[in-house]
Amino acid sequence: MKKIILTGSNGMLGKALKKKLSNSFELKSFSKNELDITDFAAVEKILAEMKPDFVVNAAAFTKVDAAETERVLAEKVNADAVGNLAQICKKIGTKLIHFSTDYVFNGKSETGFSEDAEPNPINFYGETKLAGEQKIKKSGCDFAIIRTSWLFGEGENFVRTMLRLARDQTEIKVVSDQVGSPTFTKDLAEAVEKILIENQNGIFHLTNSGKTSWADFARKIFEIAKLPTKVIDIPTAEFPTPAKRPQNSVLLNSKLSKLRRWEEGLEEYLFKKGK
Ligand SMILES: NC(=O)c1ccc[n+]([C@@H]2O[C@H](COP(=O)([O-])OP(=O)(O)OC[C@H]3O[C@@H](n4cnc5c(N)ncnc54)[C@H](OP(=O)(O)O)[C@@H]3O)[C@@H](O)[C@H]2O)c1
């Protein structure tokens, strides 16, 4: 059985990967408390000792707005630590599986962004994630970089936020001029397992199929959850945030099998939560 080290195993995607990858791999997973990826010496020690076939890095600084002010930490986690992981992987002959984001793109597209579209982030989080990608490529290690978007799963996410707000609001204002593809972490984890088994290399775009706006995403959540909450469309200008968001962040997947539609993933997710 091939060996995997999973970092960031207590995050939303980390949890889904931990469940999925333990079926077909010898998996050793590390939460942030168990392995801080910015502790270069600790990372090097563990990787050198275990010499895994794959490092799957689900650790990241993911607070998009906080990244605007917590710049040093965001860069350290999303860029420097990723570069360090990549260099060690190169040294010991391990392949690095890493996750990146739709936010490496500027959102100015009618159709969406293909794997080879030119990144041009419009917020600092996106800049740090792009820097992480570049450091991996520069290291010369074997890698798969998987860009994904609008995740929901076990952890804090948009679906949970909407359900929480619906508890004491009958109407919720939601931004309707940003479009993307919501993605269920369970579906993404299944696709990652396939990439590992097939030993695929390169940059991949993996999201659930279909696209929507945040407002229509919220409507679908309330429809499936059978809640009467009304969604009122608002433009981004009416919901200012510290970090700018791309308007169209749809990732086009031209390399791998398509995942099922996001609505199907959402239905399973909400059903499992018993909502
Ligand atoms: N969430 C999305 O909508 C989305 C969209 C596109 C791409 N992505 C990418 O998908 C990947 C997974 O995201 P996610 O949604 O699962 O994020 P998440 O829930 O925030 O999980 C990230 C995990 O990494 C941990 N972490 C932070 N700093 C660390 C460090 N120095 N060392 C080790 N672990 C550290 C976090 O711990 P703490 O929480 O304790 O800090 C958390 O458990 C990331 O690469 C992200 O950029 C996410």
pLDDT surpassing 60 at residue 275:
no
248: exposed, middle or buried (C-beta count within 10 Å: 0-12, 13-18, 19+)?
buried
pLDDT in tens, 73-123: 999 999 999 999 999 999 999 999 999 999 999 999 999 999 999 999 999
In whole numbers, what is the pLDDT of the chain averaged over residues? Answer: 97
CATH 2.60.40.420 fits 3-156+181-210+249-259, yes or no: no
Q: Which atom of ligand 1 is nearest to the CA of 62?
A: 20
74 ligand 1 Cβ < 6 A: no
Give the CA distances from residue 212 to residues 135, 176, 271, in Å, rounded to whole numbers and listed in that order.
32, 9, 21
Q: Which atom of ligand 1 is nearest to the CA of 99?
A: 45
Q: Are strands 3-7 and 54-57 parallel, antiparallel or unpaired?
A: parallel
30 ligand 1 Cβ < 6 A: no
58 C-alpha vs ligand 1 centroid, how far in Å?
A: 6
181 C-alpha vs ligand 1 centroid, how far in Å?
A: 18
Compute how many other C-beta atoms are within 10 angstroms of the C-beta atom of residue 219: 20
Helix (H) or strand (E) holding 202: strand 202-205
pLDDT surpassing 80 at residue 186:
yes
32 ligand 1 Cβ < 6 A: yes
- pLDDT band of 273, cuts 50, 70, 90: low
Q: Go through the chain and tell me how many residues it has.
A: 275
61 C-alpha vs ligand 1 centroid, how far in Å?
A: 6
Over range 219-244, report the average pLDDT.
97
58 ligand 1 Cβ < 6 A: yes
DSSP labels for 97-127? EEEEEGGGS----SS-B-TTSPP--SSHHHH
Give the CA distances from residue 189 to residues 21, 85, 147, in Å, rounded to whole numbers and listed in that order.
8, 21, 13
77 ligand 1 Cβ < 6 A: yes
- Residue 273 tokens read as 């939560």
Q: Which atom of ligand 1 is nearest to the CA of 57?
A: 45
Q: Are strands 202-205 and 143-148 parallel, antiparallel or unpaired?
A: parallel
Over range 234-250, report the average pLDDT.
96
